Amino acid sequence: MEAYLRRSSVVLLLIVSFIAALVMPSPSPVVGDKVKLNLYYESLCPFCQNFILNDLPKIYDNGLIDIIDLKLSPYGNAKLLDNGTIVCQHGKQECKLNTVEACAINAWPAIDEHLRFITCVESFADQGKHHDKWKTCFQKLKLGPEDVNDCINSGLGYMLELQYADEIGALRPPHRYVPWVTVNGQPLLEDYEKFTSYVCKAYKGPNVPRACHGLSLSTSTAPDSSAVCYKENYSAKANSKLL
């Protein structure tokens, strides 16, 4: 009887293992590491706005989003004074929107969610409607405003901006202007609009997206050195305090 039970247990174990092998999904193919794409920017720099509104959306159309780890850093050329005040290149409203966008990233960590919101905010900024119109982005995108508002009003937004200040301050070589775009930590300088070529060149995985098919990986074209906001060029309104 004992031998019969042992045989039955072995048979049952084999049956269970066979069924599990049928229903368990096959291991996914190994995917190469994603390329780290970082954008350091400020909300009211027109060239940052143009990059966010016209260049970044293409990553969803051409599949580049599948091979990148995109991170946005909304601080740019702001300065931290000795008394803890943050001043921004384009004045108080830029400090406010930098904080709004930092809070959006904190509230919705998924890139798809906070990038949609930031793109909406920047679209109003690009039209010169950046004082209050950006608040309509919550309703337009069906996103609750509570987390972002709490972040701003509690002072968390200020602390997030200090973190972004540390991040951009630690860049080597130091950033000289915005937008400052890096691929795997390497700055693209004024060639930032060709980030797709640099990403495709850096990607070593097997799942090459459509963005890279037939793309010339040459990155030697002459850059447009005027399409940036330099750190040294501050407006007269740049002595405004962050919220």
Helices (H), 63-110: 92-107
Peptide bond into 179 cis (omega under 30): yes
Q: What are the tens digits of pLDDT across the range 9-54?
A: 433 443 334 333 333 333 333 345 899 999 999 999 999 999 999 9
Query: Which numeric CATH code is attached to 35-230?
Result: 3.40.30.10
**97/75 Cα distance (integer angstroms):** 10
Phi, psi of 199 (to 5 degrees): -65, -45
Q: How confident is the model at residue 235 (pLDDT cuts 50, 70, 90)?
A: low
The beta strand positions in the chain, using DSSP E, are 35-41, 68-74, 79-80, 86-87, 177-178, 180-183, 186-187, 229-230
* Paired strand residues for 70: 37
Mean pLDDT of 164-193: 97
Mean pLDDT of 100-125: 97
Looking at every residue in the chain, the average pLDDT score rounds to 84
Place of tokens 């909406």: 120
pTM of the predicted protein model: 0.82
* Paired strand residues for 36: 69
Sign of CA dihedral 86, 90, 91, 95: negative
Asked if residues 90 and 237 have their Cβ atoms less than 8 Å apart, the reply is: yes
Domain extents in the chain: 35-230
- ∠ Cα 166 172 174 (to 5°): 70
Q: Report the share of the chain in percent with pLDDT over 70.
A: 79
Strand arrangement, sheet containing 35-41 = 68-74, 35-41, 180-183, 186-187
Q: What integer pLDDT is reported at residue 183 of this predicted model?
A: 98
- Per DSSP, 34 falls in state P
Q: What integer pLDDT is reported at residue 214 of this predicted model?
A: 78
User: Which burial class, exposed, middle or buried, applies to 214 when counting CB atoms under 10 A from its CB (0-12, 13-18, 19+)?
Assistant: exposed
Q: What are the tens digits of pLDDT across the range 116-147?
A: 999 999 999 999 887 889 999 999 999 999 99
